[in-house]
Amino acid sequence: MCGAELRPVLAVKAVVEMPYHSFDGISGASMLRVDNRWIDPFIGVDSYTLRSNPFGPHPHAGMSAVSLTLPESEGGTINRDTMGDHSRIEPGDLHWFQAGRGAMHEETPASPGSTEHGLQIFVNLSRANKGADPVGLRVKHADIPIVNFEGGNLRVVAGEFDGQHSPITHDARWLTRVNMLDVTLQAGASVDIPVKQGDNAFFVVRSGSFEQMDGVDTAQSAIIFEASEQPGESIARIKAGSQTLRGVFFSGTPIKEPMFSGGPFMGNTAEDIFAYKRAFARGEMGHLSASH
């Protein structure tokens, strides 16, 4: 983009393989789990293909569970939660389940037997926000800005790029503000994405080849960039190799707080997890029966 030549290009810290986990033989996900200091405020990413309903109702607290259904999906997802939502997430939509102090949800294929492609992204909340009321935030596919450039395009799913803002940025309830960009590049094409000083940045490859690692199978891997401590912005350069590259770029400001995980709960201490479990047992996160 204009002016990119004046900004330093971030080095690649690591290429991390995302091992595939089968849920039930017909659905599964390639999962990113790394040293949190590399991806904070993100916790992890599951790059999934679903043809069934492997998960029933379950709780979350202290974090957000984010669903990005990719436009090439054959069918959408039915979302149900204990805040009263029962709606359809269509191909290309973003659904941000910001659990805060705790809530339950269920996501099931809207058309069983069809194939759904997407990413489930787990995003941390700061301690100041872990007790917030739970809320579901949504951006429809038609409302997500698309930036076209030579050799490719990207959808501004969350955050901003090149003067375009996702509608979620205008919602004051959105507590952990990050960038999520759905990128498609033809072979040999590239795009430079600004990254603020100190922010973490990484790119999850869905398919194709990443030019900096041409000759290495980067499909279903994550490209982790070095964080820059230089004043001002740097750029993360995403360049396709000999194949069309498809993936999602993530960046955000690290929360830099202690993290203690307890399954679907994310706290700062073990006591936080015990408190969430007690709240769940008391029914404070609501009740949600499984769909039939």
What are phi and psi for residue 49, nearest 5 degrees?
-130, 120
The tens digit of pLDDT for each residue in 84-104 reads 999 899 999 999 999 999 999
**Any idea how long the chain is?**
292
Residue 131 pLDDT class (50, 70, 90 cuts): very high
Q: How many CA atoms lie within 13 A of 287 on its CB side?
A: 4
* Average pLDDT over every residue of 242-264: 96
Torsion of CA 131, 39, 233, 256, to 10 degrees: 50
Six-digit token string for 186:
């033809």
Read off the DSSP letter of residue 166: -
The answer to whether domain 4-281 has CATH 3.30.70.2190 is no
- CA–CA distance, 210 with 215 (Å, rounded to integer): 9
Question: What does the domain layout of the chain look like in residue ranges?
Answer: 4-281
Model pLDDT, residue 3: 44
Rounded to the nearest integer, the mean pLDDT of the chain is 92
Ranges 109-118, 151-160, 163-172, 255-264: which has the least confidence: 109-118
Break the chain down into helix, strand, coil percent, rounded to 5: 10, 45, 45
* Residue 75 confidence (pLDDT) above 50: yes
Model pLDDT, residue 1: 45
* Average pLDDT over every residue of 108-129: 90
- CA–CA distance, 130 with 63 (Å, rounded to integer): 7
| β-bridge pairing 190-195 and 200-207 | unpaired
* Average pLDDT over every residue of 4-16: 86
Model pLDDT, residue 114: 84
* Residue 4 confidence (pLDDT) above 70: no
List of residues 6+ apart from 36 with CB closer than 8 A: 43, 259
Six-digit token string for 212:
């900096």
Residue 183 pLDDT class (50, 70, 90 cuts): very high
Model pLDDT, residue 5: 59
Six-digit token string for 217:
């199978």
- CA–CA distance, 77 with 108 (Å, rounded to integer): 5
The tens digit of pLDDT for each residue in 193-245 reads 999 999 999 999 999 888 866 556 567 899 999 998 888 999 999 999 888 99
